[in-house]
Homo-oligomer: A and B are copies of this chain.
Amino acid sequence: MSEQRSGCPINLTLEALGDKWSLLVIRDMMFGNRRHFRELLTKSEEGIASNILADRLKRLLEAGFVSRADDPSHKQKAIYSLSEKAIQLVPLLAHMGAWGARHTDATHTLSVRAHLLEQGGPAFWDAFMDELRVGHLGAAPKGTGPSASAQMQAAYEKAMKGVKQ
């Protein structure tokens, strides 16, 4: 983990996030607003194992992608938040979603958010990132227009109606 293979930025990004789970955890925190261990564990679309989730959260913590805080409502509960570093992955995830929706057999309903992100473009991403900063970093809300996350959630729920999966 400590030694790096090369100083290429693509390689280093891959070393940080290039496994099958890390980005999915970030995706769930980002788009699904999962903030607790159990939420990430049980509401995971892909069914992550608890030891893998614990390991990934630990790595993401050490690498500065997420931070951890105690939940005042429950002494054993922890709240995980995305860092600025992770929030800046939004354009990357938007492109991944767009590419996947076009070139893999992704289901229509699960691609709804990806399409919205793609059509929205950089301006929409920026709005969404600002909302994440409010929810995860405690930034002051900018409050312009309809919420980007609300738009995505509404579109997703609309697509879910009548369609199983």
Flag if B97 contacts A95 (CB, 8 Å).
no
Within A62-93, the residues touching B (CB, 8 Å) are: 85, 88-89, 91-93
Interface pairs (26), CB distance under 8 Å: A5-B46, A6-B45, A7-B107, A7-B110, A8-B27, A9-B99, A9-B100, A9-B101, A9-B104, A9-B106, A9-B110, A9-B111, A10-B27, A10-B97, A10-B114, A12-B105, A13-B97, A13-B99, A13-B104, A14-B23, A15-B20, A16-B104, A85-B103, A88-B99, A91-B95, A92-B95
A8-B27, A19-B19 are known; give 11 further A-B pairs, CB within 8 A. Answer: A8-B110, A9-B96, A10-B93, A11-B46, A11-B100, A13-B96, A13-B99, A13-B104, A88-B99, A91-B95, A92-B99
